[in-house]
């Protein structure tokens, strides 16, 4: 029922779609479809009233702030008919009795991004000098000259209420890479914090020894090779008198020539247009930043720039495609990230030589129209997606882009026997580790399956009596969820130490963990009441656990020293949040953490 017009249902009688049937249909309609349906007649207008309808606003909240397409949530399945997302559970607990319209409005206006941890490359979205909310108390360091990280949740400079439309500044989702955070807004735009998302490391891009075609590099070379040469005596020189190498180091080169002195053959150039101006203008347009914050930049795809199509020296921006893509899901690995669009196209930022996303295709697999991508995930150095009726598809590299290429084929493998769409063998959740190792859970929920470069094995976990629903991993551990419990297992090089399996408990017996995110060596967890817990190793005074200065953590026996500059916290420990706030989403990166906090 896409693009439902306000006239297409006028012939329907009110009895055709009673409230319970309509509620089933709503998830398949876009917000515009719902609005069109609401003005069809009085019955629908009352049922879907934008001011008072509980059915409408619950569905809009569900549609706007749910994330079924990444590791934030497990798949919906037949055993979860009344499934509510983590965020829905939290806001219902925080606003008992409030209407969904009110909750939706509060989520839009009262949510802010907070980060803490390592400050290198401005990965937190700010620096010491750029964030007025950053206090000395929140900084880790031995003396005032050396500050290593932020040890408590600190608000990130972002759009103010006066800057941009609400869907431009409303953050839906955050995920953490090794060196940055990626941010997805309700408008479908992706932003990235800091100076680099790759840290200079290779992601799952072109294979070793291969590189993508770089049109900017070629364009500059072609322009420089076209510099006019002039005769000076018996020698030949470039029109630019400062450079004889063809590389622009000095004043702008010139095109027209004039004679020097009567009867002399020597000529000097006459000024012409700045040949680099178009390149600089393109770079400026493709480098959008948050107002007043140069440490958060918008990320674009190659399709936005005609020069990638192989048209030499075309420095225009394709206004039709520029920023037109709407992303609905986002996931990050160590030095790369993936985005999925509303049209079910997959884009990868996996190259340390370019900040522009590349559309990924799978040569030999069915089309997205009949076999859409259901979920995306990134591991340490590879990616994996779940494709309808195909199964889990993983890849560690892709084809290098040649001139004119607008997409790249992944060098993929399909994990055997993961293509079921119903029954016990249907895949419920999966997590990527490193070097193409994937752990996954099927709908039977009794076994933990492992794929390791072509080999599939399973692990029986008799000490976990309940059905497995969800799995999340970090570089050194795996966490498994049942309906109301979670368990951790230590891991090294993708291999589990089953002797280390233990249940994760928090101090509040009336609360429990419902979501978590993992960095390299630490984990950030979110509870049903909107509280945040952390544990693991805080490396190099980074502050990523968010529990205060290392000295405080050790003195209060929350953790212990693990070397000279690291602290280890063994059990989930509650992070103090700013007064009057609760959390709806968490993300952990390499040595940094983030949370979306709502103000009450």
Whether the CB-CB separation of 436 and 476 falls below 8 Å is answered with no
Q: What is the pLDDT of residue 238?
A: 42
Band of the pLDDT at 18, cuts 50, 70, 90? low
Of residues 329, 414, 333, the one with CA closest to residue 379: 333
Band of the pLDDT at 431, cuts 50, 70, 90? very high
Q: Is residue 580 domain-resident?
A: yes
Highest average pLDDT, of 71-75, 381-385, 490-494, comes from 381-385
| Residue 581 and residue 549 share a domain | yes
The domain spanning residue 20 has which CATH number? 1.20.1280
Q: What is the pLDDT of residue 246?
A: 33
Distance between CA atoms of 427 and 421, rounded to whole angstroms?
Answer: 8
Of residues 206, 208, 222, the one with CA closest to residue 405: 206
Q: What is the pLDDT of residue 236?
A: 46
CA distances from 81 to 17, 76, 104 (A): 21, 8, 23
Q: What is the pLDDT of residue 57?
A: 82
| Residue 19 and residue 42 share a domain | yes
Question: Tokens in use for 437?
Answer: 């190792």
**DSSP character at residue 62:** H
pLDDT tens figures, 549-580 = 999 999 999 999 998 889 999 999 999 999 99
Residue 310 has pLDDT above 90, yes or no: no
| Residue 589 and residue 539 share a domain | yes
pLDDT tens figures, 149-161 = 999 999 999 998 7
Question: Which residue, of 279, 295, 326, is where some domain finishes?
Answer: 279
Residue 6 has pLDDT above 90, yes or no: no
| Residue 35 and residue 99 share a domain | yes
| Residue 101 and residue 118 share a domain | no
pLDDT: is 537 or 256 the higher one? 537
| Residue 44 and residue 92 share a domain | yes
Of residues 469, 393, 472, the one with CA closest to residue 431: 472
pLDDT above 90: percentage of residues in the chain: 55
Highest average pLDDT, of 39-53, 113-127, 320-334, 508-522, comes from 113-127
Residue 252 has pLDDT above 50, yes or no: no
Q: Is residue 587 domain-resident?
A: yes
Distance between CA atoms of 429 and 71, rounded to whole angstroms?
Answer: 8
Q: What is the pLDDT of residue 242?
A: 32
| Residue 121 and residue 85 share a domain | no
Distance between CA atoms of 262 and 252, rounded to whole angstroms?
Answer: 26
Question: Which residue, of 241, 261, 279, is where some domain finishes?
Answer: 279
Q: What is the pLDDT of residue 77?
A: 45
Query: Per the structure, how many domains does the chain have?
Result: 3
Model pTM score: 0.85
Band of the pLDDT at 231, cuts 50, 70, 90? very low
Residue 67 has pLDDT above 80, yes or no: no
Whether the CB-CB separation of 506 and 513 falls below 8 Å is answered with yes
1-6: which pairs have CB atoms within 8 A and are 24 or more residues apart? 1/25, 1/28, 1/29, 1/33, 2/30, 2/33, 3/30, 3/33, 4/29, 4/33, 4/36, 4/37, 5/36, 6/36, 6/37, 6/39, 6/40
* Residue 572, domain extent: 113-125+132-154+511-600
| Residue 567 and residue 551 share a domain | yes
| Residue 118 and residue 57 share a domain | no
Measured from the Cβ of residue 563, the count of other Cβ atoms closer than 10 Å reads 10
Q: Is residue 247 domain-resident?
A: yes
Residue 214 has pLDDT above 90, yes or no: no
Q: What is the pLDDT of residue 494?
A: 86
Q: What is the mean pLDDT of residues 279-300?
A: 84
Name which of 316-325, 412-421, 454-463 the model is least confident about: 316-325
Q: What is the pLDDT of residue 347?
A: 97
| Residue 120 and residue 101 share a domain | no
Residue 506 has pLDDT above 70, yes or no: yes
Q: What is the pLDDT of residue 254?
A: 43
Whether the CB-CB separation of 29 and 1 falls below 8 Å is answered with yes
Distance between CA atoms of 252 and 235, rounded to whole angstroms?
Answer: 22
| Residue 100 and residue 19 share a domain | yes
Residue 4 has pLDDT above 50, yes or no: no
Q: Is residue 396 domain-resident?
A: no
Question: Which residue, of 279, 306, 334, is where some domain finishes?
Answer: 279
Q: Is residue 591 domain-resident?
A: yes
Q: Is residue 414 domain-resident?
A: no
pLDDT: is 578 or 221 the higher one? 578
pLDDT tens figures, 166-185 = 888 999 999 999 999 999 99
Band of the pLDDT at 15, cuts 50, 70, 90? very low
Q: Is residue 579 domain-resident?
A: yes
| Residue 530 and residue 593 share a domain | yes
Q: What is the pLDDT of residue 41?
A: 76
Residue 145 has pLDDT above 70, yes or no: no
Q: Is residue 1 domain-resident?
A: no
Tell me the pLDDT of the chain averaged across its residues.
83
């Amino acid at each position: 029922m896409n693009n439902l017009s306000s006239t297409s249902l006028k012939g329907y009688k009110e009895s055709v779609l009673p409230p319970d049937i309509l509620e089933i249909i709503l998830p398949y309609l876009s917000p515009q479809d719902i609005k069109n349906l609401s003005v069809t007649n009085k019955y629908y207008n009352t049922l879907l009233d934008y001011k008072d309808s509980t059915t409408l606003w619950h569905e809009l909240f569900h549609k706007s702030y749910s994330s079924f397409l990444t590791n934030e949530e497990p798949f919906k399945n037949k055993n979860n008919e009344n499934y509510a997302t983590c965020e829905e559970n939290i806001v219902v607990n925080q606003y008992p009795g409030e209407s969904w319209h009110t909750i939706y409005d509060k989520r839009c206006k009262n949510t802010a991004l907070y980060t803490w941890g390592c400050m290198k490359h401005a990965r937190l979205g700010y620096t010491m000098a750029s964030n007025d909310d950053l206090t000395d108390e929140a900084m880790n360091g031995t003396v005032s000259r050396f500050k290593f990280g932020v040890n408590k949740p600190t608000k990130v400079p972002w759009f103010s209420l006066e800057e941009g439309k609400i869907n431009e500044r409303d953050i839906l989702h955050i995920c953490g890479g090794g060196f940055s955070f990626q941010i997805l807004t309700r408008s479908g735009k992706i932003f990235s914090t800091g100076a680099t998302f790759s840290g200079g490391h290779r992601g799952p891009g072109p294979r070793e020894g291969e590189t993508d075609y770089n049109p900017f590099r070629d364009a500059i070379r072609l322009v420089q090779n076209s510099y006019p040469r002039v005769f000076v005596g018996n020698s030949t020189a470039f029109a630019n008198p400062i450079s004889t190498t063809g590389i622009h180091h000095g004043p702008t080169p010139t095109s027209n020539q004039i004679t020097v002195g009567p009867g002399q053959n020597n000529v000097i150039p006459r000024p012409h247009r700045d040949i680099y101006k178009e390149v600089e203008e393109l770079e400026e347009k493709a480098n959008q930043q948050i107002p007043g914050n140069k440490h958060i930049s918008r990320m674009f795809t190659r399709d936005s720039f005609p020069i990638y199509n192989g048209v030499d020296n075309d420095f225009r921006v394709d206004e039709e495609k520029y920023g037109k893509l709407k992303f609905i899901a986002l996931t990050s690995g160590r030095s790369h990230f993936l985005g999925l669009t509303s049209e079910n196209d997959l884009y990868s930022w996996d190259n340390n030589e370019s900040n522009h996303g590349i559309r990924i295709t799978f040569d030999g697999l069915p089309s997205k129209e009949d076999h859409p991508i259901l979920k995306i995930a990134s591991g340490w150095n590879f990616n994996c997606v779940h494709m309808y009726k195909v199964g889990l598809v993983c890849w560690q590299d892709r084809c290098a882009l040649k001139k004119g290429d607008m997409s790249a084929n992944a060098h993929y493998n399909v994990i055997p026997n993961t293509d079921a769409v119903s029954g016990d063998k249907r895949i419920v959740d999966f997590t990527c580790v490193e070097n193409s190792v994937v752990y996954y859970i099927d709908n039977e929920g009794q076994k933990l399956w492992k794929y390791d470069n072509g080999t599939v094995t399973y692990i029986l976990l008799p000490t976990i009596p309940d059905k497995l629903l969800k799995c999340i991993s970090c570089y050194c551990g795996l966490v498994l969820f049942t309906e109301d419990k979670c368990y951790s297992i230590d891991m090294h090089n993708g291999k589990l130490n089953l002797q280390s399996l233990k249940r994760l408990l928090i101090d509040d017996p009336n609360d429990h963990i419902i979501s978590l995110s993992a960095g390299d060596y630490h984990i950030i967890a979110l509870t049903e009441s909107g509280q945040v817990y952390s544990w693991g190793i805080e490396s190099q005074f980074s502050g990523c656990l968010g529990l205060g200065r290392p000295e405080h953590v050790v003195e209060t026996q929350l953790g212990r020293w693990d070397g000279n500059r690291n602290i280890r916290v063994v059990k989930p420990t509650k992070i103090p949040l700013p007064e009057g706030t609760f959390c709806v989403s968490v993300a952990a990166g390499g040595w940094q953490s983030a949370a979306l906090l709502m103000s009450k």
